Protein backbone atom coordinates (compact mmCIF):
# COMPACT_ATOMS: atom_id res chain seq x y z
CA UNK A 1 0.00 0.00 0.00
CA UNK A 2 2.84 2.40 0.66
CA UNK A 3 4.67 1.53 -2.56
CA UNK A 4 7.87 0.27 -0.89
CA UNK A 5 9.50 -3.02 -1.85
CA UNK A 6 12.31 -3.39 0.68
CA UNK A 7 10.28 -5.37 3.23
CA UNK A 8 7.94 -7.35 0.97
CA UNK A 9 9.77 -10.67 1.32
CA UNK A 10 10.04 -10.41 5.11
CA UNK A 11 6.43 -9.26 5.41
CA UNK A 12 5.22 -12.17 3.25
CA UNK A 13 7.11 -14.68 5.37
CA UNK A 14 5.69 -13.16 8.55
CA UNK A 15 2.17 -13.15 7.07
CA UNK A 16 2.45 -16.83 6.14
CA UNK A 17 3.47 -17.66 9.71
CA UNK A 18 0.36 -15.80 10.90
CA UNK A 19 -1.87 -17.92 8.64
CA UNK A 20 -2.22 -15.72 5.57
CA UNK A 21 -2.63 -17.92 2.49
CA UNK A 22 -0.67 -17.66 -0.74
CA UNK A 23 -3.91 -16.73 -2.51
CA UNK A 24 -4.33 -13.80 -0.12
CA UNK A 25 -0.71 -12.68 -0.55
CA UNK A 26 -0.96 -12.85 -4.33
CA UNK A 27 -4.20 -10.86 -4.48
CA UNK A 28 -3.80 -8.40 -1.61
CA UNK A 29 -3.16 -5.52 -4.03
CA UNK A 30 -6.67 -6.15 -5.38
CA UNK A 31 -8.23 -6.99 -2.02
CA UNK A 32 -11.55 -5.35 -2.89
CA UNK A 33 -12.10 -7.73 -5.81
CA UNK A 34 -10.32 -10.78 -4.41
CA UNK A 35 -12.54 -13.66 -3.26
CA UNK A 36 -9.92 -14.72 -0.69
CA UNK A 37 -10.71 -12.17 2.05
CA UNK A 38 -13.56 -12.15 4.52
CA UNK A 39 -15.63 -9.02 5.03
CA UNK A 40 -13.87 -8.49 8.36
CA UNK A 41 -10.46 -8.75 6.68
CA UNK A 42 -11.60 -6.29 4.01
CA UNK A 43 -12.65 -3.85 6.74
CA UNK A 44 -9.20 -4.12 8.35
CA UNK A 45 -7.53 -3.68 4.95
CA UNK A 46 -9.66 -0.61 4.28
CA UNK A 47 -8.48 0.90 7.56
CA UNK A 48 -4.86 0.07 6.78
CA UNK A 49 -5.17 1.57 3.31
CA UNK A 50 -6.87 4.74 4.57
CA UNK A 51 -4.19 5.20 7.21
CA UNK A 52 -1.37 4.54 4.75
CA UNK A 53 -2.65 6.55 1.79
CA UNK A 54 -3.69 9.73 3.59
CA UNK A 55 -2.51 11.99 0.77
CA UNK A 56 -4.89 10.34 -1.71
CA UNK A 57 -8.00 11.91 -0.21
CA UNK A 58 -9.32 15.21 1.07
CA UNK A 59 -9.55 15.67 4.81
CA UNK A 60 -7.26 14.59 7.57
CA UNK A 61 -9.22 11.78 9.23
CA UNK A 62 -10.09 8.19 8.45
CA UNK A 63 -13.50 8.36 6.74
CA UNK A 64 -16.48 7.44 8.90
CA UNK A 65 -17.52 4.78 6.39
CA UNK A 66 -14.23 2.93 6.99
CA UNK A 67 -14.79 2.95 10.78
CA UNK A 68 -18.45 1.98 10.37
CA UNK A 69 -17.50 -1.02 8.22
CA UNK A 70 -14.78 -2.06 10.66
CA UNK A 71 -17.01 -2.14 13.73
CA UNK A 72 -19.70 -3.92 11.73
CA UNK A 73 -17.49 -7.03 11.69
CA UNK A 74 -16.14 -7.15 15.22
CA UNK A 75 -18.11 -8.02 18.33
CA UNK A 76 -17.81 -6.05 21.58
CA UNK A 77 -14.96 -8.19 22.89
CA UNK A 78 -12.98 -7.71 19.66
CA UNK A 79 -13.60 -3.95 19.64
CA UNK A 80 -11.73 -3.40 22.88
CA UNK A 81 -9.35 -0.43 22.53
CA UNK A 82 -6.22 -2.56 22.41
CA UNK A 83 -7.51 -4.36 19.31
CA UNK A 84 -8.49 -1.17 17.52
CA UNK A 85 -5.18 0.35 18.57
CA UNK A 86 -3.40 -2.64 17.01
CA UNK A 87 -5.29 -2.16 13.76
CA UNK A 88 -4.47 1.55 13.72
CA UNK A 89 -0.81 1.13 14.66
CA UNK A 90 -0.07 -1.71 12.25
CA UNK A 91 0.25 0.50 9.13
CA UNK A 92 2.34 3.02 11.04
CA UNK A 93 4.76 0.46 12.43
CA UNK A 94 5.05 -1.39 9.11
CA UNK A 95 5.77 1.72 7.03
CA UNK A 96 7.76 3.86 9.42
CA UNK A 97 11.20 2.34 8.63
CA UNK A 98 10.87 3.01 4.90
CA UNK A 99 9.44 6.47 5.47
CA UNK A 100 12.25 7.31 7.89
CA UNK A 101 14.86 6.07 5.42
CA UNK A 102 13.21 8.06 2.62
CA UNK A 103 13.19 11.23 4.70
CA UNK A 104 16.84 10.71 5.65
CA UNK A 105 17.90 10.33 2.01
CA UNK A 106 15.96 13.47 1.13
CA UNK A 107 17.52 15.51 3.90
CA UNK A 108 21.05 14.67 2.76
CA UNK A 109 20.58 16.06 -0.75
**How many residues are present in the chain?**
109
CB 43 within 8 A of CB 70: yes
The answer to whether position 2 is within a domain reads no
The answer to whether position 3 is within a domain reads no
DSSP class of residue 48 equals H
Number of folded domains that form the chain: 1
The answer to whether position 44 is within a domain reads yes
Instruction: Please give the pLDDT value at position 99.
Output: 61
Instruction: Please give the pLDDT value at position 75.
Output: 60
The pTM assigned to this predicted structure is 0.70
Mean pLDDT computed over 82-87: 65
The tens digit of pLDDT for each residue in 17-63 reads 888 999 999 999 999 999 999 998 899 899 888 877 777 777 767 88
Mean pLDDT computed over 66-75: 81
What's the distance, Cα to Cα, between the start and end of the chain in Å? Answer: 26
Domain of 93: which CATH number? 1.20.1290.10
Instruction: Please give the pLDDT value at position 96.
Output: 67
DSSP class of residue 53 equals -
Domain region containing 76? 8-107
Amino acid sequence: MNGGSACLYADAAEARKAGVTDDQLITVAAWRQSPYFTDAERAALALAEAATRMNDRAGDAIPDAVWDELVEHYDERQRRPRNLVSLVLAPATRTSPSKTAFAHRRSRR
